[in-house]
Amino acid sequence: MVIGLAADHGGYKLKEEICEWLEDSGFAIKDFGALIYDAKDDYPDFVAPLARAVASGEVVRGIAICGSGVGAAIVANKVQGVRAALITETYSARQGVEHDDLNMMCLGGRVIGPELARELVNAFVAAQYSGEERHERRLDKLKQLEKDNFKETD
């Protein structure tokens, strides 16, 4: 499984730790930056390319980190095909994938510590979408909303 990561200055340190954990666990990583700490960088510059990579299938799942995780989630959900959520506990990290086919997890680098982050990441990457009829029905409705609200770009 290829996992993409992105963070601004508010999540840079945590992103670096997560990259190391995931690589040590055998995952392939694609790092969308920031590649250096810059207190003046902006989360959309890193999260948007990650979200596009998730939507295109270039990476299977994405993890985006900013100071609170809120901005990262807002940016990610502007990309058609991305289902991103701010995650703060393991139930949603797992259930979001199993029921909602969550493909991008957003974390707050300033509000969670590294051990909780590790648990959230482990739950997120280990979970699999169930494909149950009720979940498929809901995803179909979501896809229709996207079709109705996102304009095609050339």
Q: Which of 9, 19, 66, 106 is catalytic?
A: 66
CA 142-121-89 angle, to 5 degrees, is 75
User: Cα separation of 120 and 87, whole Å?
Assistant: 8
Q: Which of 19, 99, 106, 135 is catalytic?
A: 99
| E strand spans, the chain | 2-7, 28-31, 61-66, 84-86, 104-108
- Residue 66 known to be catalytic: yes
- Residue 99 known to be catalytic: yes
Chain centre distance of CA 29: 13
- Cite the active site residues: 66, 99
